[in-house]
Amino acid sequence: MSRKSLLGKSLMGTVFIAALLSGCSHEAASPDYPLLRYNYLRPIDLNVASIEIRDDWLPRDANDVARLSPEPPEDALKQMAHDRLVAAGKEGKALFEVEEASIRREGQWLYGHLAVRLTVTGKDPAHTGYAEAAVARNVALPEDAENKDAALRQTLYDMTKAMMDNMNVEFEYQVRHALHDWILDSAEGGIDVPKPVESQPLN
């Protein structure tokens, strides 16, 4: 085989390896966003026959970037209700509503606010109760990120996850206090109610 042919094959091999390494590097750099699920947490057994999950909330601010998150907070809130609320009664109904699921961007800062409401109604419509829960969080975007779009998506995902961790605690606290008579396991006693969440801005 001639020296020219060997050189050509060597160059082709080098190009192939470089392309392969480039593909591996790109794949390794792609972030992974696990779906946010809450069925590992203790369920809340409500003394109702059905549960409706409603999401009529719409962004009211042009700077709202919540839906750019790999998992938008409004989807995570609905998933929380699906995973944690159980219709364990024979009559009555419950309505879970997403009242706000916003993450507003101002420069390098993100301002998040989540709010939900749970209303329960017995066979007699006059027998009604409700609980509300809200959490907030402020996060700064990394200023030195090379890929601004990727950094925004990652920050939004991390922020949503952190707010939802707080919301799960706050929501259960509010429900077990305001709707104590509607929760089946509350009548048994001995239930440790989590403390409410105090949100703090992150620098």
Q: 144-178: b or e for each residue (b if 16 or more CB lie within 10 Å)?
A: eeeeeeebbbbbbbebbbbbbebbbbbbbbbbbeb
Q: The tokens of 182 are what? A: 């509607």
Owning domain of residue 134 = 36-188
Q: Do strands 93-106 and 128-140 pair parallel, antiparallel, or not at all (unpaired)?
A: unpaired
Q: Do 106 and 11 fall within a single domain?
A: no
Residue 181, amino acid: D
Structural domain includes residue 4: yes
Q: Do 136 and 174 fall within a single domain?
A: yes
| Total-model pTM | 0.76
Q: Do 5 and 53 fall within a single domain?
A: no
Q: Do 22 and 117 fall within a single domain?
A: no
- Please count the structural domains in the chain: 2
Q: Do 85 and 183 fall within a single domain?
A: yes
Q: What is the DSSP string of 22-56?
A: HHHHHHHHS---PPP--TTSPPEEESSSEEEEE--
Q: Do 2 and 70 fall within a single domain?
A: no
Q: Do 21 and 96 fall within a single domain?
A: no
* Tens digits of pLDDT across the chain (203 residues): 554 444 444 434 443 333 334 444 333 334 579 999 999 999 999 999 999 999 999 998 999 999 999 999 999 999 999 999 999 999 999 999 999 999 999 999 999 999 999 999 998 888 899 999 999 999 999 988 788 899 999 999 999 999 999 999 999 999 999 999 999 975 443 334 444 444 444 44
Indicate the helix (H) or strand (E) that contains 153: helix 148-178
Q: Do 24 and 47 fall within a single domain?
A: no
C-alpha distance across the termini of the chain, in Å: 65
